[in-house]
Chain A
């Protein structure tokens, strides 16, 4: 089997597997998140945190709960890192420096998992398991909770209430993420991913040098890192490290885990709004954008010009030999199309056009299928903006799923759309305007600029993958990127909940022949088109000066 055929089989088998779990997993999430019953464990949790699980919250209260929970998580994570040397299981490591601790806390709370540090050499087991792994679960659960509350805005009528954050958070953690992650971890262990508490061992490498290899609870960490679209690796080399990603088929499992929840949530959405076809339309938009991206990345990687590349048939630089070009391109697409940011190859070394597509994946707002939860609400907000323009063109006040998109709704939606481009561009411009941050670039010219652009794109969109080639472990980048991650996560959440709040208050408009149908290929194509055009227009100058300047000859 040639490498191209293998690549196609790899992608097709993944898509088939995702299609197979779409309905059962989507339905499972629908049942779990909309149940009226609470089991004993859940009741215990609610009692412990003092929450009445049957009370409901307004959008502002819901948002405050999200922020409060995340603030506590942030402080806890910061504390654990700073006091590492005084706590257990620290592997003898020093406290984490303040700017790194700030950046890491922001990163994991914001479901970004940007890592300004080298995992195995900075964080002991307690921080890894008690801090980072916990955040891997709950920050993902926050995303699911917000997505569900957002969908409730469409479902409910004449109410202020969007559900109860604490209940949604608990259910998402214990009934969705934990069980799937457990199964995923066992499968990965079977595939050779390590899971132990062994002390670091010194080994002699092939070239005769000596290297210290740390073991650890890698498989369990790895499963949730991908499932929760987190991406923070146990090892610096992330999913390119053999202990994290042992073989070709664990690579397949890992990509599957990255995509599985986000691609099934539209089904949950379809069930909640009572029209499955609306869910299919959303997943279709995601699919169209994803396929475009995967095709473009792979094409750019395979068809790269250059002496070496033409000799071996593709651009092999920075690609892990075990996985090959196609599977690496697939992993790279999956990780940037979601908010994962795990890597099994080095994006910095991608062809400039391949790298541009990866950046574009994130610039689109990671909606195809996107981060756990955030992909769904991001995509629905793009649908709202599309409906607004399209709705006017059919001669009615625009409406989506029976809810009118008026001044208040479009205000929330367009501010949501504004946040990340503003963070990316202003952040990158700030870095490029000053001598200090510019010194972090390890490359001159357009490629150096691409590295900075990638870093801010990744942080602001809560991706967490790095282009590498940029020394980010400095005071400036730690603080700036940390800010981008927090603002890029929580401003959109507040705006999405605000939009949901104003949708929930409305009385739905009945569907008629004059209503713009939002489940047909026409609408799917239009959402994809509007998304691509708006994003392309926003980032065209930046991309032209970075990857396009490098890539077009």
Chain B
């Protein structure tokens, strides 16, 4: 397990969003709508349209309405035909806009994928080959200033690499052989030194190739929930087709048994006119969600890409929304990577100030993060000025050694050491001092609290004594407890995975507020844990970067590999986080949920809309036949023509109106299922019932002045 080599990238506009833990994405640029228009029109090709059955039916309806309008040559007919075509175009526009955002990103990536030549090592010699000819297992050498020709692992050397082409992050990262930072990506640039890379990709299947395909939506396959929703929409479409088509004989009978009723634009001797029939059908079938469904899916993937996460499949994004258990590594995810000094406890009558001074002095030359934290703490808590090693000219600095397990300084006849309790105690005893039992109690107390005790001792001419204990603490990142509380509210169990002993693990788990922990965890323990959870019906998500994480990443339902990790880890996971920020898992879960909620909410909205459309169209159709039905015209629409046309126009405009929502996703706050449902039902269910009543009435008020539509 390694820690990220770089801080998570946060664009300025994202920083505030992430701080509030909300998922959302940029606003819709109206220019993007215009720019996508040509593509939307090209998508009218029936060979493309039939993949979206609901909108395909609308297109057939539009063709039929055009035919009728040309034959009849009425304002009403032409208006209906135009608006039906607009309905289809608007639906295509939604998809085109969603795809358009991805295309821009793909273009940037393509620029990174220049044709490069590789220096392949063969039998001790070196040959130049085009990068495209590289096979798995080939070994290439890359030097400063050159582009890495393909994905692989560093097998020799260390180099700083500029990965900005992929991650957008300009700060270089270190890549070295062995360990968990060995993976390099084709298209990135070596800035210094020389590395030997073993190619792990197949030709044409590089990470960049996959990314391009992904953001363009070319390889987009329907996700399981999307397929299920499509089936429900198809069923609804069939029901409404039956309801509309069977209405014809009923209407004919109504005419037959009420002779003398004059013909109208909606109803004549042959029954309901073709134009009105098509209008009713288009208004009833779930066009709103049908038009926006694929845009929602593309935008969901896009939201992940904007957060520098690449999901290899939409299935994984959906699974993220369903996750029951989150496996989080302690180090780097829950705690800051390093332990920090948090308390000085003097023993044996030593004054706190004296201990702080000794602790600071012994750590001045200690460049480890722990050592730096001691200096910082001494300054913050005791007001000690930070001295520089150079100030003490005659001091001899003792670096940490594995044998002694101590570090410190000899200055002015005084020796100061800090280190593991037993090592310092031995050193004191060897110097003729006595170690009081009080020290043991303090050390045990620190351990029990999940901290690491460092003991500070001193040998002077006057003798040897223990000064006190430094409490090094794993510092839980700020805001983690809140996030875990959100997770709990969402019904997600958080498990902290750590190599620490159970005592330490427990203390940190309690402080961070996770639900459970896995202590002294080896990679195989992780795998076993994931399998056990899955047997219980749970979906598990985890992050990982090491080669030994690969089996667990592959087993997990959502496996997020860090971009800094090994190729094996990246292959095994189904998402890659380019920022290598393990806490992003939490955002990924939220994006997954938001994707599903957006679909559900717009489906509800779409179906709820139908009520108002019926109240607009049915009275308009049959009021001539049965004047009593005028009571159903509760919107008091102007004329049958204006009522039907208003419903059709509303049906088309609502698609455009909802494109921003489809791309952005509905607002999501982590909370319990019950509360989420209540809110979404109120907004999209009730709103879906009421909105069209208002919308259709307004449109009717406007178009009733159009000649040929007016009563």
Contacts and interface: CB of A to CB of B under 8 A. Distances in A.
Contacts of A433: 249, 252
A402 B245 CA distance: 39
A406 B284 CA distance: 25
Interface string A393-422: 111110000100111011100110110011
A393 B229 contact: no
Given A395-B593, A396-B321, A544 B537 contact: no
A438 interface: yes
Interface string A427-447: 011101100001000001110
A522 B254 contact: no
A78 interface: no
27 contacts: A389-B600, A392-B601, A393-B680, A393-B681, A395-B668, A397-B596, A414-B232, A417-B239, A422-B242, A425-B246, A429-B248, A433-B249, A448-B253, A507-B535, A526-B677, A526-B681, A533-B607, A533-B611, A537-B611, A537-B614, A540-B614, A545-B250, A549-B625, A549-B628, A552-B631, A552-B632, A553-B628
Contact of A402 (B242, B249, B537): B537
A395 B493 contact: no
A468 B490 CA distance: 55
A406 B228 contact: yes
Contacts of A449: 250, 253-254
A517 interface: yes
Nearest to A526: B681
Contacts of A397: 224-225, 318, 321-322, 596
Nearest to A409: B228
Contact of B235 (A418, A425, A526): A418
A516 B599 contact: no
A395 B611 contact: no
Contacts of A418: 235, 238-239
A490 interface: no
A485 B265 CA distance: 38
Given A393-B676, A513-B488, A448 B597 contact: no
B673 interface: yes
Interface in A503-524: 507-510, 512-517, 520, 522
A537 B604 CA distance: 14
A432 B229 contact: no
A396 B611 contact: no
Contacts of B239: 417-418, 421-422, 537-538
Contacts of B244: 541
A522 B253 contact: no
Q: Which of A394, A513, A544, A549 has the most CB of B within 10 A?
A: A394
A102 B8 CA distance: 75
Contacts of A512: 324, 491-493
Given A392-B600, A445-B254, A544-B629, 14 more contacts: A389-B600, A392-B229, A392-B596, A392-B597, A394-B673, A395-B592, A409-B228, A422-B242, A512-B493, A514-B492, A533-B611, A544-B618, A545-B622, A548-B632
Interface in A369-398: 385, 388-397
Q: Which of A388, A426, A444, A542 has the most CB of B within 10 A?
A: A388
B626 interface: yes
Contacts of A411: 231
A513 B489 contact: yes
A539 interface: yes
Interface of A: 385, 388-397, 402, 405-407, 409-411, 414-415, 417-418, 421-422, 425-426, 428-430, 432-433, 438, 444-446, 448-449, 507-510, 512-517, 520, 522, 526, 533-534, 536-542, 544-546, 548-553
A541 B673 contact: no
Q: Secondary structure at chain B's binding surface: helix, strand, loop or mixed?
A: helix
Given A388-B232, A513-B672, A540 B250 contact: no
A433 B251 CA distance: 10
B318 A395 contact: no
Interface string B291-324: 0000000000000000000000000001001101
A298 B236 CA distance: 32
B20 interface: no
Q: Which of B248, B254, B258, B537 has the most CB of A within 10 A?
A: B537
Contact of B251 (A428, A520, A545, A550): A545
Interface in B623-638: 625-626, 628-629, 631-632
A235 to B, nearest CB: 33
B674 interface: yes
Q: Which of A396, A515, A546 has the most CB of B within 10 A?
A: A396
Given A389-B603, A545-B622, A432 B250 contact: yes
A446 B228 contact: no
Contacts of B318: 397
B247 A541 contact: yes
Contact of B538 (A389, A510, A553): A510
Given A510-B536, A517-B674, A544-B622, A414 B231 contact: yes
Contacts of B614: 537, 540-541
Contacts of A515: 491, 673
Contacts of A514: 324, 490-492, 672-673
A293 B234 CA distance: 30
A390 B610 contact: no
Contact of B324 (A428, A509, A537): A509
A39 B677 CA distance: 49
Contacts of B246: 425-426, 428-429, 541-542
Q: Which of B234, B601, B672 has the most CB of A within 10 A?
A: B672
B363 interface: no
A516 B254 contact: no
Contact of A396 (B322, B603, B618): B322
Nearest to B536: A510
Contacts of B228: 388, 405-407, 409-410
Contacts of A409: 228
Q: Which of A449, A540, A541, A551 has the most CB of B within 10 A?
A: A541
B594 interface: yes
B247 A545 contact: yes
Q: Which of A388, A392, A515, A526 has the most CB of B within 10 A?
A: A392
A544 B680 CA distance: 31
Contact of B242 (A426, A526, A548): A426
A545 to B, nearest CB: 5
A538 B251 CA distance: 16
B628 A396 contact: no
A406 B629 contact: no
B678 interface: yes
A528 to B, nearest CB: 13
**In the complex, the 6 A-B pairs of residues with the closest C-beta atoms, listed nearest first:** A514-B491, A392-B600, A395-B593, A512-B491, A414-B235, A393-B600
